[in-house]
Amino acid sequence: MHKVIRLLAVAALFAPLASGQSKKMEVTDLPGHPFSVDFASGSQLNIHVRSGDVRIVGRDDNKVSVKVDAKDPERAKEVKVRFERFENSAELDVSGGPKNDLHITIEIPKSTGLFVRMPAGQLEVSDIRGDKDVQLHAGELIVGVGNPGDYSHVEASVSTGGLEAEPFGESHGGLFRSFHKEGNGKYKLHAHVGAGDLTLR
C-alpha cells in the first residue's frame, strides 16, 4: 500500500512537468524540417524575430509555420524556432542563423491578434485581420491594413525617416513623424519604426 502511494506521489510530481513540456517546442534545421504547428484562429500571437528579411503572411487554415531561405543552406540550419503555447495565446521566437542573405517567412491564420518586435531589416506584414502591434528598430516596415474602416484606433510613427499611409490619407517625412486616427471598427493598429521607413498600405 505504501509503495502504491509513493508511486502515485512521484507521478503527481512529474505530471506538471510533462504537461509543461507539451506546450513548448524548439526546432532547428528548418531547411530539412520546416516548422509547423496547429494554432487556433482568432488567438493572440507574440513574435520576436531576428534581424533580416522577414515576411509575416496570413493563411486560410489554423496553423503557424516558419520557413527559411538562405544563400548558404548549411548556415540556414542554425536558425532556431521556439514556440510556447498558453491558454489563449502563444509566443514565437526566431533566432540564430547567418547575418546576411537570409529570408524568413512566417505564416499564421488570417484572423490573429499580432504583436511583433524585430531589431532591424525589412519586415512585411500582409493579409492579417486582427489587432496589430508591430515595431521595427531600424529598416523598412510595410503593413497591409486591408479595409481602413476595420479599425477603431490607429497609431503610426517613425523617429527618423518616412511615413506613408495612403489608406488613411497620411504622408510624412523627417524627424518624429506620427499620426493618430479613431474609427468605428473593432481592431487596433500600432506601428513604429525607429530609423527607416514605415508604409501602411
Cell 531547411 found at: 31
127 lies in a domain?
yes
15 lies in a domain?
no
- Each residue of 124-157: pLDDT tens digit? 999 999 999 999 999 999 999 999 999 999 999 9
95 lies in a domain?
yes
10 lies in a domain?
no
Residue 75: per-residue pLDDT = 87
9 lies in a domain?
no
Structural domains counted in the chain? 1
Q: What is the pTM of this model?
A: 0.87
18 lies in a domain?
no
2 lies in a domain?
no
- Each residue of 35-72: pLDDT tens digit? 999 999 999 999 999 999 999 999 999 999 999 998 88
3 lies in a domain?
no
Residue 175: per-residue pLDDT = 83
Strands of 18-79, DSSP E: 24-27, 35-38, 44-49, 52-59, 63-70
Enclosing domain of residue 64: 24-200
